Amino acid sequence: MSAIKHREQEWIEVVETYKKELAQNEYLTQKMFVEEVIPQRYSDKFGWVTANNLGKWINKIYRDDCDKDDKRKFITYSEKITFCAEWIQFRKKRGTMGGSGDHDSDIHEPLFTTFCAQKMVNCSTAKSWKENKDIMGQAILACMRNDEEKPSFDQYIYGNRDYWTVQRVNDFCGIMDSFGAKNVSISSNNQYPSDYYLQASVHLRKRQKICMFSSKIENASPDDWYAYQINTTTYAVFENRNSAHFGMFMNDAFSVTGNNARISYSRGEQKAYVVATRNIKPGEMICVAYGRSYWVEYLSTFQCRAELKVLASRFYEIKM
């Protein structure tokens, strides 16, 4: 047997021993295994092992195992979601869960490494799943079936609706965008009065500029629920909470024909506008597709009416 092959066999034995110890103690980190378990139980056999090399060999051996096992060559989307959901539950058991957005904090990297070792998943591969907002959002959904755990969107985002009535909002947006005030107005849902929507006041033609969406363009992704990603590098954002425009009151119709507008921006003006994608009749609601990633994050963050969950999950094929 060659020296390289002999060394590989030694590492396989080390990794198998670590797996056995993990089965007894699910919180055992690689560092603890090297610094505490090996000196106590395996000093004669594995005294030469370091935590850094152990991590490398766990990844190598697991990757090689994947290559040999046809069933594990392709990891399904559902399996990635399940892995991330189990990671969230693992952290909850450890009492290390923070607020939203805390799921991939660098503070928990050693814990994540331990979790990957326990699941025998390559850390760098698993990290890419964890950093995928779509996968992580659906994983959060799987862990938060009880809507009572989430805040409502109205409580989290909206201001005082007793003050910001439909009339006041129309007046305010009209001051900000006198051009748009000629084409559209904001109204409220009879069944849900706090739900505002944008409707056409006049006949609007396909490709017509309807109203303003935002007065600022940025290249970096902002942390704002009303920001809209126009393309891979351009975002329409709001300067502050006092710069609302008509366009921000568009809803998602969850239908190809119902979504009758798009967001376009002017490079020269550095502003974003709402543009009609088909002819729109007076009184018709003006809607835009929010996108799948938006709804995955929304449903995983806020309380949501049952009918809205159904519409969003069906149209964007979100697994609930």
Full-model pTM: 0.57
In a domain, 33, yes or no: yes
Q: What are phi and psi of 216, to 5 degrees?
A: -150, 140
Give the separation between CA 94 and CA 117, rounded to whole angstroms: 16
Are 183 and 141 found together in one domain?
no
Are 169 and 53 found together in one domain?
no
Q: How confident is the model at residue 203 (pLDDT cuts 50, 70, 90)?
A: very high
Provide the CB-side half-sphere exposure for 307 (13 A, CA).
Answer: 3
Are 66 and 144 found together in one domain?
yes
Are 121 and 220 found together in one domain?
no
Dig out the tokens for 58 from the structure.
């766990």
Give the separation between CA 87 and CA 142, rounded to whole angstroms: 12
Are 159 and 135 found together in one domain?
no
What pLDDT does 213 receive? 92
Does 215 score more than 70 pLDDT? yes
Q: What is the pLDDT of residues 269-314, one digit of tens each?
A: 888 999 999 999 999 999 999 988 888 878 877 777 888 888 988 8
Q: What is the pLDDT of residues 61-103, one digit of tens each?
A: 655 444 444 344 456 777 788 888 888 877 766 654 443 344 4
Structural domain range at position 130: 3-149
Q: What is the CATH number of the domain that holds 165?
A: 2.170.270.10
In a domain, 313, yes or no: no
What pLDDT does 48 receive? 80
- Domain boundary (103, 125, 149) is at 149
In a domain, 9, yes or no: yes
Are 226 and 103 found together in one domain?
no
Q: How confident is the model at residue 263 (pLDDT cuts 50, 70, 90)?
A: very high
Domain count, the chain: 2
Give the separation between CA 225 and CA 298, rounded to whole angstroms: 9
Are 10 and 139 found together in one domain?
yes
